[in-house]
């Protein structure tokens, strides 16, 4: 059986936890930060969890990570 190639762009953006959940960074954090409140910026730092079919597709793209 052949080995699968890891999609490196996906491997850099997402992290799979030990229990199989897919973690991602929050959007809207790169620029225009002056307009956002301290509370919003603090919450964006935390990251988020990917759910549903997106998580399934991401796991297929990073089989060995």
Q: Model-level pTM? A: 0.82
Q: Which CATH class is domain 8-61?
A: few secondary structures
Would you mind telling me the total number of residues written for the chain in this entry? 65
Tell me how far apart the 2 most distant CA atoms of the chain are, in Å.
53
Q: 41-52 pLDDT, tens per residue? A: 999 999 999 999
Q: 1-60 pLDDT, tens per residue? A: 899 999 999 999 999 999 999 999 999 999 999 999 999 999 999 999 999 999 999 999
CB atoms < 10 A from the CB of 14, how many? Answer: 20
């Amino acid at each position: 059986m052949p080995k699968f190639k890891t999609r490196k762009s996906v491997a850099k953006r997402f992290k799979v936890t030990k229990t199989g959940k897919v973690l991602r960074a929050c959007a809207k954090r790169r620029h225009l930060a002056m307009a956002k409140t301290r509370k919003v910026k603090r919450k964006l730092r935390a990251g988020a969890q990917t759910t549903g079919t997106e998580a399934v597709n991401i796991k297929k793209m990073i089989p060995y990570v």
